[in-house]
Amino acid sequence: MNQKSAGNLPDMSTKTIAFIGGGNMASSLIGGLVADGYNATKIYASDSDGEKLASLAARFGIRSASDNLDAVKRADVVVLAVKPQAMEMVAKDLAKAIQQYRPLVISIAAGVREAHLQQWLGSDVALIRTMPNTPAMLQAGATVLHAGEGITQQQKSTAETILRSVGLTCWVKDEAMMDTVTALSGSGPAYFFLVMEAMEQAGAELGLPADIARLLTLQTALGAARMAMESSEGPATLRSYVTSPGGTTESALQTLEAGGIRNLFREALTDARERSEEISSMLGNV
C-alpha cells in the first residue's frame, strides 16, 4: 500500500497522458497530477461536453483534444474515465487507434471487467483496471489496482503514480477481489456518511443545537480517522483506549453490539459485493 506523496514524478516526466472523459474523477486525477508537479502541457483531455473541456483547460492548463481519437494518438497513457454504461461504445471506437499506437490503458470505470475491455479494445492491450472512490475529489481517495496480463513493472509504476496523486493505492492479484473492493471502499464513504447522519440526528434529538451536533459529529469522525491512520495500533486497540470499564463509551458500545452492528456491516458488504458482480456481468454481457 502506498500513500500519496510528491516527488514521484521524474520517471513519468516525458509521458503524455490522455483522459477520455472529463468528469469529476478525471478532474480529480488531473488536479492531483498538476499539484504534484506534473507538466500540464503533457496532459490531454477529451470530452463530448465542450464547456467541461474548456473548464478543465482553463483550470489546470492542460490541452484539449479535438476528439477521443486525437487524444489517443498523442498519448503514452490513456485513462478511460467515461461512465461504465458508455464504456463499450467508447472502447470499440478507440480500438483501432489503441492497437495502432499501443498506449498503456488505465480504466477507472466501476464494474467494467478486464475481459470486457479486452473484448472491445483487443486481447493484447496493455491494461490496468482501477477502483478509486469519491474522496479522490479531495485528494483523499483510496484506489485499488489490478494489472492485466503482460503488464510490466514500469507500467504498474506509471499507473500507481497517476492514481497516487489523489490518495493511497494498493494492488490486488485477483481481479475478482475488485467486487469486494467496490463494496468496501467504493461504496464505503456512504456508510460513514450514514453513521455521521445518525449521530448528528441523535445529538440533536438529545438537545444539542443542530449546528453543534453536526460540527461535533464531523470533527469526531475526522479525528478518529486520523488517529487510526497515524497509529500503529488497530481499531480494536484504539477503541479500548477510549472505553473505560463501566463508563459512558462502554454503555454505548454494548448497545451497538447488542443491535448486531458487526453482522449488519457484514451483510451490507456482502449484498454490495453481490450487486457489483451482477452489474459487472450486465455491463459487458461476458
Dig out the grid coordinates for 213 from the structure: 451536533
The dotted CATH code for 10-181 is: 3.40.50.720
Cell numbers at 34, concatenated: 498538476
Would you give the end-to-end CA distance of the chain in angstroms?
A: 31
Mean pLDDT for the chain overall: 93
CA distance 16 to 103: 10
Indicate where the chain has its CATH 1.10.3730.10 domain(s). Answer: 188-276
Which pLDDT band holds residue 149 (cuts at 50, 70, 90)?
A: confident
CA quadruple 170, 172, 176, 177: dihedral sign: negative
- Model-wide pTM > 0.85: yes
pLDDT band at 285 (very low <50, low <70, confident <90, very high): low
Tell whether the model's pLDDT for residue 286 goes beyond 80: no
Residue with C-alpha cell 478511460? 80
29-72 pLDDT tens trace: 999 999 989 999 999 999 999 999 999 999 999 999 989 999 99
Contact (Cβ atoms closer than 8 angstroms) between residue 279 and residue 186: no
Alpha carbons 67 and 78: distance in angstroms, whole number: 13
Q: What is the pLDDT, as a whole number, of residue 11?
A: 60
Please give the single-letter amino acid code of residue 142: A
| Cα–Cα distance for residue pair 216/209, rounded to 1 Å | 11
What Å distances lie between residue 19 and 69, 74, 80, 207, 270, CA to CA? 11, 11, 6, 49, 33
Inform me whether the pLDDT recorded for 218 exceeds 50: yes
- Confidence (pLDDT) at 283: 83
- What would the pLDDT profile of 226-281 be if each residue is shown by its tens digit? 999 999 999 999 999 999 999 999 999 999 999 999 999 999 999 999 999 999 98
pLDDT at 10: 46
Rounded CA gap, 32 and 186, in Å? 19
Question: What are residue 35's phi and psi, to 5 degrees?
Answer: -65, -30
> 145 falls in which pLDDT band (50, 70, 90)?
very high
Q: Tally Cβ neighbours within 10 Å of residue 223.
A: 10
All CATH 3.40.50.720 domain ranges in the chain, comma separated? 10-181
Q: Span 188-276: which CATH code?
A: 1.10.3730.10
pLDDT band at 199 (very low <50, low <70, confident <90, very high): very high
Q: Is the pLDDT of residue 5 over 60?
A: no
Helices and strands: H and E segment counts in the chain = 12, 8
Query: What mean pLDDT do residues 129-154 have?
Result: 94
Q: What is the reported pLDDT for 278? A: 93
